[in-house]
Amino acid sequence: MGTSRMFRIFVVLGSAFMILLIIIYWDDVGASHFYLHTPVSPGPKVPHPVPQKRPQTSRAPSFLSDIDAFVNQFLEPGTGEPTDAAPADTSNQSEKAEERYIPRREWKIHLTPLAPELRDRQEQRRRLLQEMCANDSVLFHGKNRSFDDIPNKELDHLIVDDRHGIIYCYVPKVACSNWKRIMIILSESLLQEGVPQRDPLAIPRDLVHNSSMHFTFNKFWKRYGKFARHLMKVKLKKYTKFLFVRDPFVRLISAYRNKFELPNEDFYRRFAQVMLRRYANQPTPPASVDEAFSLGIHPSFSHFIQYLLDPQTEKDMPFNEHWRQVYRLCHPCQIQYDFVGHLETAEEDAEHLLRLLRVDNVVEFPTSSRNLTASSWESDWFSTVPVEARRELYKLYEPDFRLFGYEKPDSLLNE
């Protein structure tokens, strides 16, 4: 008799405990829910919807994986390639308001299907990335680590747009100003300042590069606390992720032209003075960039390359973003990009991408009238750089060449 009574008490206590667990658990889900749907930029306040039903019937799911399932319900529509499904435009206003955090698509009817070449091109670029990430002969620092092991500060180039479900990894010197402009327009973060514009070029340059304009992954920590990592992963899974790259050597020429051939006080003080001191026999370089330019002094392209190859440079601080390798900025082996644009095919790629993102009736990619650095100048620029240095430089940027399908510049390396 004693054992059966013990058993009954045990069952009752057990059930009570389970019920208690469920109550606590619900509370937690409610709390996290509050975090998950904080709007990115100030906009109309939206009531937090009450969860309709518990996701799945898993008995003892881990807290976070359950949130994952929960969040996924809401994010479901926001993935990759466009489907041909028409938007369900039957929801009425109040339902729409509740669904504001579902990535929004600005529909445009296309009479012509996307050119198959463009689709194939993306397919090839994505496949190449996968192959190179899996190929052990392509080695670089940080390749093997998991997403969780990437420090927050290295996620500062990933700009998130929750409204449309887009993540953009910006690479300086690869049309990044214009793509940042597009991200600003999509995020509608200028609306409250009374600038309801859709013209990317109307956004002033200093605003474009002001980091307060962009919600990047490294800011998640501040907003979402302990949920940050998890939320990043959910967004990475559900959102459309893109980046733009270009020939790595041409990018370096472009960086040099932009930062050292034109007077730039900041870059002069932080980098040019160092180069002049170290490689140009100028123990006391002019104090300001104006003074230096009036004396016709600036580091040569060859000095710049020397600076990049100098082991001391990376010891002092990580490469500046204008010449940091794309694999270090965008983590292409941890993040599966849906779209890889090349600057060399920028216009076609932009059109394809905006269509893929379904925002091509909101924004247009501004065509550049600037004097772009052309690949054909490469041999001229590198003529002052010793062949040995070119080979070392190639090693430094080899992962970018291989990951993104840029040919090894044999003519430069075998002279």
Ligand X SMILES: *[C@@H]1O[C@H](CO)[C@@H](O)[C@H](O)[C@H]1NC(C)=O
Residue 4 phi, psi (nearest 5): -70, -35
Name the residue nearer to ligand X (CB basis): 84 or 206: 206
Provide the minimum distance between the beta carbon of 143 and ligand X in the complex, in angstroms, as a whole number: 5
Nearer to ligand X, 83 or 371 (CB): 371
The H or E element containing residue 1 is none
- Least Å from the CB of residue 399 to ligand X: 11
CB 396 within 8 A of CB 141: no
**CB of residue 381 to ligand X, shortest distance in Å:** 10
Residue with tokens 């996307």: 114
Q: Shortest distance, CB of residue 296 to ligand X, whole angstroms? A: 16
- Interacting residues toward ligand X by CB under 6 A: 92, 94-95, 131, 135-137, 139, 143-144, 206, 210, 212, 371
For ligand X, which is the closer residue by CB, 8 or 205?
205
Strands ordered across the beta sheet of 240-245 = 158-161, 166-169, 240-245, 339-342
The CB-of-212 to ligand X minimum distance in angstroms stands at: 4
Cβ(378)–Cβ(253) under 8 Å?
yes
Residue that is written with structure tokens 């208690």 in the block: 20
Compute the distance between CA of residue 217 and CA of residue 157 in angstroms, rounded to an integer: 8
At 390, give phi and psi (nearest 5°): -60, -40
> Shortest gap between Cβ of 145 and ligand X (angstroms)?
8
- Looking at the Cβ atoms of 100 and 237, the one nearer to ligand X is 100
Return d(Cα 266, Cα 286) in angstroms, integer.
14
**Could you give the CA distance from residue 278 to residue 307 in angstroms, rounded to a whole number?**
8
Nearest to 181 by CA among 409, 372, 354: 354
Asked if 245 and 171 count as a contact pair (C-beta separation under 8 A), the reply is: yes
Closest CB to ligand X among residues 203, 356: 203
In terms of CB distance, is 136 or 407 closer to ligand X?
136
> Are the C-beta atoms of 246 and 342 separated by less than 8 Å?
yes
Q: Considering the complex, state which of residue 26 and residue 377 has its C-beta at the smaller distance from ligand X.
A: 377
Q: How far is the CB of 240 from ligand X (least distance, A)?
A: 27
